[in-house]
Structure 1
């Protein structure tokens, strides 16, 4: 079982894919709460060079409300991370699969919510 939902996009630049990803997230009710420029961080902290790599911490407030309502400590696993990374074939977009990440929690109601979020994130990745 994969723990991410993936797509490689060719023929577009990193910043364009970032904009398209944010737009697709917003269209499904997700906001980006956090952003980490991993490339810049590795350069600054370790003086290491790498290809473009960005982590977007996305949250759909309605779905987060439902998840916290059925499992109050699930906030430790939020938000849903989406990564953008430059690879030789293009730009890879990977979104966390909430069903996979929440499988350690024994709560059937939470798994139903996670399944809905997974479907939404799969639609986001497809729409980019």
Structure 2
């Protein structure tokens, strides 16, 4: 149990740091009311989790350590559903309804497609 927690913590820390650096980089170059940084991270994270889960389904490990590290830890720390929800509430509060609906629809549809593509590439 403690070993799993350690793997998740290490992966989560790495994912969180990369998420922060990705946001800084995107926000440096893109100025928009659309939350591009969170959107990009979530779609990339969906694709990555699809690849990883496809790989782990194809190559079952003797030990779940890498799955805990990469899927639960890294992808969990990297993706940002709470930020996604907060940004949508902020868009609604500022009456940017079209942007909020577009952001939600694109995130859900492209996120699911990215997971599917990741799984497909590992077949």
**For the superposition of Structure 1 and Structure 2, which TM-score range results when normalised by the shorter chain?**
0.3 to 0.5
Q: Which has the higher contact order (CA 8 A, sep 6+)?
A: 2
Give the TM-score normalised by the residue count of structure 2. 0.34
Give the structure with higher Rg (CA): 2
Q: Which has the higher helix share?
A: 2
Q: Which has the higher strand share?
A: 1
